[in-house]
Structure formats: C-alpha cells, structure tokens
Amino acid sequence: MNRRLFLRGSLGALALPAMESVGFAKIQGPKINLSTGNEMKRLVCIGNSFGFHASHFFPTGEGPIRSLPKALEPLKGNLDQATVFSNLDHGVKGGHFAVHSFLSGVKHSQASSMPDGNLSLDQRAAEVFGFKTRFPSLVVGSENGLHGGCQMSWTRSGVRVPPIEGPKNLFRKLFIQENPKNNQQVLQHYDLGKSILDASLEDARNLGKKLNGRDRDKLDEYFTSIREVETGIQQKEKWHSVPKPNAPIDEPVNRNLVEDIPVLYKLIALALETDSTRIASFEMAGAQFNTGLLGLNNGYHAYSHHGQKQENIDALLALELYQMKCFSQFLDQLKSKKSPNGSTLLDETTVLFGSGMGNGNAHTNNNLPILMAGRGYQTGSHLAMPEAKNKRVPLSNLYLSILNQLGVEDESFAHSTGTLTL
C-alpha cells in the first residue's frame, strides 16, 4: 500500500480494512421497489434503553385488548391505532451491551458474520427511499447515555449513525438555512469530498487486483463505506440550493431529556409533515433522565434494577407512564395532520415503539416490549407469539414485514425466518 492511497483513505475518513482479516461475503443488493406512486410511506422507530416492566406493558390474554396494563393507560385514546406484540426478540444476550441490536437484530461484535452487517431497520429503509427527501433519515438521541449513548441506527458498513442532540439542534437542521456567504465554500467542500473519493476508489481498485480472494472480499467492505459517504455528499449537494421550509414554531432551547422529549416528538412530526424526511428514529437514553422532575429521588438505571421492591417498581412505572404519555401525544399529532393525499400522517406512517432491553432487573434481552402503531398496525390487539424455543418467532420477521410494506422487496433481514403478518 503506497503513501498516496493511505492519505486519500484517511482524508475521506475511510480507513482501509486490515487485509489479513477474514473478509465479508460480497454484498449483493436485493431487489427493491422504486415505485414513484403518489402514496407516501413513512417509518418512525422509537426506543428506550431500559425497557419496560413486563407486567406494566403486556396485556393479559391474546386478541382485542380489553384491559390496558398500567404503562399503556395513556394510550387509551389511541388504542385502536396500535398493536402490542409479546415473545419477540433477536435471540441475543448481553444486557445493556446488547441493547444496540434493537433495530438491527445483530450485535455489533457479530456484524462481520452477517451479509449486511448490523444494518438497522431505519437505515435499510433510508437506502431505498431516503433519497426522495432532504434528509434520508433523522436520528435523534443523546451521546451521553449508558455505554456510549444513542446506538440504535447503524449503516451497512457497521458505522453508528450519530444522533442529533436536543430540540434546538434538530430545529436548526430542519428550518435554518445556510448563510448564503458560505454557499461557495460549501460547494467547494463537496467537490473536494468527491475528488478524494474518486481518487480513493481508483487506487483501491488497483490495489484489489493484487489481493487474494479473501482480502478482495474485505476490500468490498471498504467500497461499501465509500459508497455510503458518496451518497451522502450527493444528497447534500442536491438539496443545498433548495430552501428549507418556514419554521412553524419558535426555536426551542435545549433543557434536559425529560422536558425535551415532547418537543423532540413535535419536531419529528413537523419533519414528516414538511416532507423533510420520511424516516426517523429516536432513542431515549435512560441514563439522561432527570428523574427529579418527575418527583423521584433516584436514577432511572437504579429503578430498572428494582430488586422486586415495590417502591422501586412504582417509581419505574412513573417513568414508563411519562414516556407513554409523550408517545400518545405524538400519535395525536400525526392523526391531526393531513398528508397531500388526504389521509392523516398516522395512516401513512409505520411507527415502532420498544426497546432492546427485555428485563432491566435481570439484564435479559428476550421478550422485548414491542408496540406498533399507524399504517398497517391499527388493530387494538395483543399478538402473543409462541414461547416454546422450537416455535420461536424472531423479531426480525416483523422487521422484514415492515420493510416489505414500505416497498423494500427484501427476502430476509438479520436472522429472519420469514415475514410476520397480522
């Protein structure tokens, strides 16, 4: 490897892979549906890092929900817009260190054994139809949560998508236009980025001719990373001269996660309404909860390890009720907004709410709390999957169904064994 190739790889923020390691299988792009019909399909994925207490979240019995469990009581007015699933998970272990597999179905440490790495649900959707909007996807969260902050969204090459932190930053991204004086500098920056990528690809292809089959597959991972950066540059360049929508609200200030949650939900709804994006994810890092604002005197993490003490379980319920109240208000916002097709935003949006943590007290990642709302999941029912190991249904089956509904004609996702239909 010569010095010029190394420098170009570094400038592009794309370090070449170690060629002596075992390579990925060559990525073969699955068929996708690029229909340009008038129907708008949207996806919102919401997760928290500590899960929900099972008795608070899962209804008793299967079928139409007759009696709401405590944590779902704020959802009463939107019950007919939702479906609750039980006994779904990814079959992973690791407690807090496995929570990041929530949207991907794959632990980051095991991504190299998968054809698509630990590509997450939202980013797979963004690959297919994210180009239709200014932002292929919006990832909202915190960088200061337990074990590294927001780690819900991952690209095909295994890169974590960094979150937008706080309502002020999200507002400015959606509605504040670049200073015209900086336009030329920005365009030059894009041109520089493209020239670095072109040079990196040219030299990497030349290097590829000298590699054995195993290292050539590893180099393919590098090409995938370059394509991701290249797509991002093209997207930014495409929308650079298009004015952003006028802000319908005043610029908010960043306070703390507890107070910011409803504002962030409102901004995500506005992002969908203005068609700034059709794909968003929002992770609420429990370690960032200022529980004192909800009248509590201990941390969220401590309450999740309740030790079967009733006072801790009661405090945990208060945290869960607040999150569900904010989520229900978000569904109300989507129901109140009309799309250009005359439907409500909720009718055209698939909304996933859940966590990669099943039981915070026991640090287990099975039987994840999963709730779907909006497009295709307006049943008011509880669907209990089989508990027996030999009949286990992977959560990835639900994710594959979601992708298919969105027009992504994939035949598998992570460890799926098929689709999961209502």
CB-count burial class (<10 Å; 0-12, 13-18, 19+) for 329: middle
Largest CA-CA distance found in the chain, in angstroms, rounded: 68
pLDDT over 90, % of the chain:
67
User: Bigger pLDDT: 52 or 16?
Assistant: 52
pLDDT value for 37: 47
Q: Which of 67-71, 202-206, 321-325 has the weakest average pLDDT?
A: 202-206
pLDDT value for 286: 75
Look over the chain and give the mean of its residue pLDDT values, rounded to a whole number: 84
User: Bigger pLDDT: 301 or 194?
Assistant: 301
Handedness of CA 159, 162, 163, 169 (dihedral sign): negative
pLDDT value for 242: 85
The neighbouring-strand residues paired with 353 are: 46, 371
Residues 143 and 150: beta-carbon distance below 8 Å: yes
Does 187 have pLDDT greater than 90?
Answer: no
Strand order from edge to edge, sheet including 381-384: 63-64, 381-384, 82-86, 370-374, 349-355, 42-48, 279-284, 138-140
Residue for token pair 């994006």: 277
pLDDT over 70, % of the chain:
75
Does 21 have pLDDT greater than 70?
Answer: no
Does 7 have pLDDT greater than 60?
Answer: no
Domains in the chain: boundaries: 42-176+252-405, 179-243
pLDDT value for 234: 64
pLDDT value for 157: 87
pLDDT value for 30: 33
Does 253 have pLDDT greater than 80?
Answer: yes
Q: Which of 163-167, 215-219, 284-288, 336-340 has the weakest average pLDDT?
A: 215-219
Task: Give the HSE-up count for residue 88: Cα atoms under 13 Å, Cβ half-sphere.
Answer: 29
Tokens standing for residue 263: 């504002």
The C-alpha atoms of residue 310 and residue 388 are separated, in whole angstroms, by 30
Confidence of residue 2 (pLDDT cuts 50, 70, 90): very low
Per DSSP, the three-state class of 217 is: helix
Does 129 have pLDDT greater than 90?
Answer: yes
The C-alpha atoms of residue 332 and residue 335 are separated, in whole angstroms, by 5
Average pLDDT in the 355-375 region? 96
pLDDT value for 178: 75
Tally helices (H) and strands (E) across the chain: 10, 8
Write phi, then psi, for 292 (nearest 5 degrees).
Answer: -60, -30
Average pLDDT in the 384-409 region? 95
Residues 69 and 59: beta-carbon distance below 8 Å: yes
The C-alpha atoms of residue 305 and residue 253 are separated, in whole angstroms, by 32
Does 101 have pLDDT greater than 90?
Answer: yes
pLDDT value for 89: 97
Class of the 42-176+252-405 domain?
alpha beta
Q: Which of 18-27, 193-202, 298-307 has the weakest average pLDDT?
A: 18-27
> What stretch of H or E contains 45?
strand 42-48
pLDDT value for 240: 72
pLDDT value for 219: 59
Q: 242-272: string of b/e by CB count within 10 Å (b at 16+)? A: eebeeeeeeebeeeebbebbbbbbbbbbbbb
